A and B are shown apart, each in its own frame.
Chain A
């Protein structure tokens, strides 16, 4: 398998409504920033891979057709990935796959969502003919899983609040973050309305407009500062299955085991310096800490409570502010992968984790059934 590196990252400033740009303008903005970071232009790109969550979010069907021009894809191969919420991560992996398989030398990967064009909560509320809608939006689906986690582990009710505050404090250090809330603290989070018990308004992710792009390169064509891909994996499992553990899905465990094996990681908490993990609802931090093997089952909430996942903790999670602070859904996974790359390139700015050498990028989607992960490192694998 050929080596692959991230040599450019571009993001837009995430916000509720980007009325000043079209969808094409939005993705092009991120793409140009990634190319600029790599010191390249569209001419240097062999193929474009684009990802986003359901087309119903903007009301544009298979938008790669419309976006080919804005992304300089004319005359090149272009792919469109869609794996639900994990799509941003999967898109990066499909792009990396083109390099690892020796098909191309430089690939532009872009993911976006312009949620202001439509209403994502209703687009996420699936309806007949295929399934009856019992819930409204993703929060309605995930809240029972969180309650089950609390029941199993006996986690006290304030743990989610701690994550909500910690990630928003990190967001204050990230100029691209959507929610930058001065004076954020537990009292503020606890004063916000309960949306889906136990998830309060400030314990959920925002709806954002935004795009993220990365430039991937083969070893021979690296420019600038590379972040090397040490491991990459996807896993899926059915949404409904007898005895499926929706709190700690097997697909997540298997996916993590696969990337750790590729990257030679046996003790993730000790060996990984920083993790960008898909946490759209605060409680998913302790849940994923366990699912990803950073701690034993039942212990995740204690790790969160100890402050270990804060920017100055021993294993910072979501130094960028995470999905809780910026959520252009289709791009959210790619932002995790890109932020992991920025950390090991030493280019994360104010939210840089000192000396980060190995980072995890993680995304999940569907009914916590689709997983995409990669490990990137400062050194060549």
Chain B
């Protein structure tokens, strides 16, 4: 495959509440930031990820286009998925060989509605959604199946919050962890917080990548897999789709210094760690991860961006970014980045 690198990454200072900005207003600064950093004003391809249901209105991506400055008209597409899949689409488009740059962004304001209830609408509308299973109940089923030791989960929560406090873009969640179950065995603190935010990435190939960035983060492998929707058809204690995606992306072909995992719940970290066969010395979510900031529809893209950032700043030479979608890690994307 053609060498494609992440040459710029920007994200908003995520918030736990609606700051009054429209989606286009929220996206504009991060788009401008990656444009400034690369010096590019036009891109060979543009792709975004978002979800209408967060805004409660159709076509939320249409007004977002105002932030991009799509004039003269641009070659552009949109996935109703996390921005990580927009990045995948752009990576595929760059494989065609006729363009050498792409802009990718993802955004979401989950403060606007009741995210826990909205995600119920992602379930089979005939047999599952009418049961009223919300996001937390579904996650609790997986937490129960995984049966992770409570002390291990507490440590994941503590570490994520501490790392998040050290990350200027993540939320400042207190050191003191609230106790109590959301839906047993899922504790309130195990749950990624409601967050508004956006992120943008620039991809470039060949000479352009080295011209735009002193340390491009090359995408050495990227793959995704989906599993059956019905929870009863899956072993919830493991993630076969994450494992297959990791194998296809070549995670095991070398050491992994940092892995940014799309863990919306603490118990997903050990499940993913095992699926990706990450060695014990791999640093997980040094950004604080989704447990410290979860701007839905940008969270997965931010994982890949954070993994790239470790290569950009020279602190790592091989990292992994992961994104997930669907109930109980139904759909997983894995990207391997190298200096």
Residues of A within 8 A of B (CB): 1, 22-24, 53-56, 58-69, 73-84, 90, 93-94, 97-98, 100-103, 117, 123-124, 126-127, 129-131, 233-241, 249-251, 254-255, 258, 366-367, 369-370
Contact = CB atoms under 8 A, between A and B. Distances in A.
A65 B326 CA distance: 6
B226 interface: yes
Q: Is the interface of B mostly helix, strand, loop or mixed?
A: mixed
Contact of B73 (A75, A83, A102, A236): A236
A23 B229 contact: no
Interface residues of B, number: 66
A75 B77 contact: no
A235 B126 contact: no
B207 interface: no
Contacts of A1: 96-98
B93 A101 contact: yes
B1 interface: yes
B55 to A, nearest CB: 7
Given A130-B22, A236-B76, A80 B226 contact: no
Contact of B226 (A59, A73, A130): A73
Nearest to B121: A61
Nearest to A233: B75
A258 B221 CA distance: 30
Given A62-B326, A237-B70, 19 more contacts: A60-B121, A61-B121, A62-B51, A64-B226, A65-B122, A65-B226, A66-B229, A68-B228, A68-B330, A69-B228, A78-B224, A81-B79, A82-B78, A97-B89, A130-B60, A131-B57, A236-B46, A239-B66, A369-B65
Contacts of A76: 225-226
A54 B62 CA distance: 11
A77 B85 CA distance: 10
Which has the most chain B C-beta neighbours within 10 Å: A77, A233, A235, A239?
A77
Contacts of B98: 1
A293 B110 CA distance: 44
B71 A239 contact: no
16 contacts: A54-B52, A54-B59, A58-B125, A61-B118, A62-B122, A65-B326, A82-B52, A101-B93, A103-B1, A123-B58, A130-B22, A130-B55, A236-B65, A237-B65, A254-B72, A370-B76
A130 to B, nearest CB: 6
Contacts of A61: 51, 53, 118-119, 121-122
B63 interface: yes
Contacts of B244: 75
B65 A94 contact: no
B230 A69 contact: yes
Contacts of A65: 122-123, 226, 229, 325-327, 330-331
A97 B66 CA distance: 26
Contacts of A24: 124
B92 interface: yes
Contacts of B125: 23, 58-60, 66, 117
B325 A254 contact: no
Nearest to A100: B96
A251 B73 contact: yes
Contacts of B38: none
A375 B282 CA distance: 48
Interface string B234-259: 00000011001000000000000000
B103 interface: no
